[in-house]
Amino acid sequence: MTASTSLPLPQANWSWFLDLDGTILDIAATPTAVVVPEGLVATLSALRSAAHGALAVVSGRPVQQVRSLLEPLRPAAAGLHGLELVTPDGLRHGAKKPLPPVGNLRRNLQETVSVIPGVEFENKGATLAIHYRQVPEAAPQLRRLVKIAVAKSRGFEMLEGKMVFEIRPTGIHKGTAIREFMSIAPFCGRVPVFAGDDQTDEDAFQVVAEAGGITLHVGENDDTTAEWRIESPAALRLWLAEAAEALKRRM
Ligand SMILES: [Mg+2]
């Protein structure tokens, strides 16, 4: 069985950028309930070797969470939609420009959404997420409340993900993180490939497309600018495993 016949043939000169939730991991009922399937870390490790280290995870989660989920891989990673960056040598980079203070907005939103049972408020530090997977019917009310609170704050924007409203500083996103990775070794001079599943990945698709790279959307959603489609995280994992194998054979 092959992952897909309608995907590009993996090349040795690619830089691999992978979103985590909904892309290489199946989405779970809550962010803490995700399961890292057996073999995934080995696949990523093999792929990273075949790409001479050019592999990074690009997630909305904090980098520390990404790395602890994928122990013992310790991948290069961008966290909080690009606010945090850890290079392959393990060096940590914060945001390049001062971040707007999030305190008031956080308090405001936490209080506002606490009246809706089943909504999970996630404080990620410089960014926030409001999950409503347990109460999808609350989406319209929540959307309205979150929009009002975000509009009143300066320097933040709301993005709709899958059963989640993400609130992040404006102008920093997964695309800016990939651009930063592409300016340093071992990523620079390679062709970027980015796989993602969500609205928050569209900025990255745009940056990668502009750089002449490969954009790959995971899942059913048709509302994407990505060039290539793959139906599920499981299918993507299979394709990545096959890519690692094929590239190793050609080394
Ligand atoms: Mg995702």
Q: What is the mean pLDDT of residues 64-74?
A: 96
User: What string of DSSP letters covers 33-75?
Assistant: G----TTHHHHHHHHHHHTTT-EEEE-SS-HHHHHHHTTT---
Q: Are 229 and 209 in contact (CB under 8 A)?
A: no
Find the 59 Cα to ligand 1 centroid distance in Å: 7
Q: Which residues pair with 193 in a beta bridge?
A: 16, 214
Write the burial class of residue 114 (CB in 10 Å: 0-12 exposed, 13-18 middle, 19+ buried).
exposed
In the chain, CATH 3.30.70.1020 sits at 103-169
Q: Say how many Å lie between the CA of residue 196 and the centre of ligand 1.
A: 6
Q: Could you tell me the distance, in angstroms and rounded to a whole number, from the CA of residue 198 to the centre of ligand 1?
A: 5
Neighbouring residues of 137: CB distance < 8 A, sequence distance ≥ 6: none
What pLDDT does 97 receive? 72
Angle, helix 174-181 to helix 202-210, in steps of 10 degrees: 40
Residue 4's pLDDT is 46
**Residue 13, pLDDT score:** 97
Ion ligand 1: protein residues whose beta carbon lies under 5 Å: 19, 21-22, 197-198
Mean of pLDDT values over 44-48: 97
- The CATH classification of domain 103-169, taken from the options 3.75.10.10, 3.30.70.1020, 3.30.1360.30, 3.30.360.10: 3.30.70.1020
Average pLDDT over residues 49-70: 96
Q: What is the arithmetic mean of pLDDT over 91-119? A: 88
Query: What element of type H or E holds 77?
Result: strand 76-79
pLDDT in tens, 152-161: 998 999 999 8
186 prior amide bond cis, ω within 30: yes
76 CA distance to ligand 1 middle (Å): 17
Of the pLDDT bands very low, low, confident and very high (cuts 50, 70, 90), residue 59 is very high
Its sign, for the CA torsion 227, 228, 231, 234, is negative
What spacing in Å lies between the alpha carbon of 66 and ligand 1's midpoint? 12
Which residues belong to CATH 3.40.50.1000 in the chain?
14-95+172-250
Alpha carbon of 251 to ligand 1 centroid (Å):
31
Q: Cβ contacts of residue 44 below 8 Å, gap of 6+?
A: 18, 24, 55, 70, 73, 75, 240
Distance in Å, CA 205 to ligand 1 centroid:
13
What CATH number should be reported for the domain whose range is 14-95+172-250?
Answer: 3.40.50.1000
Cite the active site residues. Answer: 19
pLDDT at 39: 96
Share of the chain above pLDDT 90, in %: 82
Judge whether 216 and 14 are in contact, CB under 8 Å.
Answer: no
Q: What is the pTM assigned to this prediction?
A: 0.89
Question: How much distance in Å is there from the Cα of 162 to the middle of ligand 1?
Answer: 8
Mean pLDDT to the nearest integer, 6-16: 94
Q: Does 169 score more than 70 pLDDT? A: yes
